[in-house]
Amino acid sequence: MTSQTVSGTAGLTEPAVKRRRRGGWHAYLFVAPSLFGVVAFLLLPMVIVLVLSLFDWELLSAPEFAGLDNYVRLAGDGEAWHSLGVTIAYVLLSIPLQTVLALALAMLLNQRVKGVRFYRSLFVVPWMATPIVLALIWNWIFDPRDGAINSALALVGVTGPDWLSDPTWALPAVALVSVWQYTGYNMLFFLAGLQGIPKELHDAAETDGATPAQRFWRVTLPLLNPTMFFVSVTNLIGAFQVFDTIYAMTAGGPSQTTEVINFRIYQTAFKEFDFGYAATLSTLLFLIIFLVTMAQVRFFGKRTTYDLS
């Protein structure tokens, strides 16, 4: 096999080969804007944060090289590990429920129901609103005196708690807001996945005597693995990086029970002006997200089928 065959230019004259090679630069020109965005707003900030984590910097003074001192400090920082634990608890409270509800809604709205397009749009509306606005609305809903939830509970003789000021209920309440906001958005992906499954597969399973539950577990769910993989990865990344909802609803309280790692980073950088240590916390968060994502890739990689033909 010649080098011409390998390069895909077999049978072309030398001028034609040169024109093809020159034409390849046009492709790079089209890719350049996206590549610039990735480098400037993703890769470069990651490198800067990693380098900054090796320094002590209080913004108004010159950075001083600290080596691994910030990482040694992190190992014994109880507040940082507490914030990480709160973040993991938030992820466990929101993501499973959010995913299950999104899949259930998608299956329900995949039926031929009157007004189904209206309902599909209705469930996506919360995702379109900004988190700060939603947080303000939910602050009123969770208000212990005049809030909608406690008012409804009072009608049946139940005294509701002070949701956002109670250490027991504050984190579940914030997680509930996340579930409410993103369930409809994830429903769209599951709905697209369901509509991509050939109807013949369900018909064949039904002909073989499979019950609805068996068709779901053995046909629908396995073929939804590509969608489940996408939803799972994006949701977990977003949940580990939650900040705005926490900031607007509880500001990390009460008693730091809702202080997620991103809020701890914000406090360290912009309240304590310790940017070097904030970069160290950010590096820790990146490492955790990376490891969790790789675990998901490994888990779903052996269970995912993309070609249904």
Q: pLDDT tens across 172-205, in order?
A: 999 999 999 999 999 999 999 998 888 888 889 8
Q: Is residue 2 one of the residues assigned to a domain?
A: no
Instruction: Band the pLDDT of 6: cuts 50, 70, 90.
Output: very low
Residue 7: pLDDT above 50?
no
Q: Is residue 306 one of the residues assigned to a domain?
A: no
Is 227 found in the same domain as 85? yes
Q: Which of 14-18, 41-45, 164-168, 255-259 has the lowest mean pLDDT?
A: 14-18
**Both tokens of residue 250?**
């509880």
The reported pLDDT for the residue numbered 260 is 96
Region 83-91: mean pLDDT is: 96
Is 34 found in the same domain as 88? no
Residue whose pair of structure tokens reads 């693995």 in the numeric block: 225
Residue 12: pLDDT above 60?
no
Is 87 found in the same domain as 39? no
Of the two residues 59 and 255, the one the predictor is more confident about is 255
Is 292 found in the same domain as 191? yes
Is 133 found in the same domain as 86? yes
Is 292 found in the same domain as 175? yes
Q: Among candidates 173, 167, 171, 172, which has minimal Cα distance to 143? A: 173
Domain's final residue, options 65, 85, 101: 65
Q: Which of 91-105, 181-195, 199-213, 236-250 has the lowest mean pLDDT?
A: 199-213
Query: What are the phi and psi torsion angles at 25 (to 5°)?
Result: -65, -25
Q: Is residue 307 one of the residues assigned to a domain?
A: no
The reported pLDDT for the residue numbered 2 is 44
Residue 19: pLDDT above 80?
no
Is 236 found in the same domain as 216? yes
The reported pLDDT for the residue numbered 3 is 44
What lies within 8 Å, CB to CB, of 185 at 6+ separation is 102, 124, 127
Q: Which domain holds residue 37?
A: 12-65
The percent of residues in the chain predicted with pLDDT above 90, rounded, is 54
Q: Which of 19-23, 113-117, 218-222, 295-299 has the lowest mean pLDDT?
A: 19-23
Q: Is residue 154 one of the residues assigned to a domain?
A: yes
Residue 129: pLDDT above 90?
no
Q: Is 62 left (phi over 0), alpha (psi -120 to 50) or beta?
A: beta
Arithmetic mean of pLDDT over the chain = 87
Instruction: Band the pLDDT of 23: cuts 50, 70, 90.
Output: low
Q: Is residue 104 one of the residues assigned to a domain?
A: yes
The reported pLDDT for the residue numbered 15 is 60
Secondary structure (DSSP) of 114-155: TTHHHHHHHHHHHHHS-HHHHHHHHHHHT-TTT-HHHHHHHH
Query: What pTM was computed for the model?
Result: 0.85
The reported pLDDT for the residue numbered 127 is 85
Is 131 found in the same domain as 182? yes
Q: Among candidates 130, 133, 160, 158, which has minimal Cα distance to 147? A: 160
Is 281 found in the same domain as 186? yes
Is 285 found in the same domain as 265? yes
User: What is the spatial distance between Cα 58 and Cα 272, in angstroms, rounded to a whole number?
Assistant: 8
Question: Do residues 123 and 185 make contact, with C-beta atoms less than 8 angstroms apart?
Answer: no
Q: Among candidates 229, 200, 189, which has minimal Cα distance to 103? A: 189
Residue 243: pLDDT above 50?
yes
**Both tokens of residue 103?**
């899949």
Region 13-42: mean pLDDT is: 74
SS3 308: coil
Q: Is residue 57 one of the residues assigned to a domain?
A: yes
Residue 4: pLDDT above 70?
no
Is 149 found in the same domain as 88? yes
The total number of structural domains in the chain stands at: 2
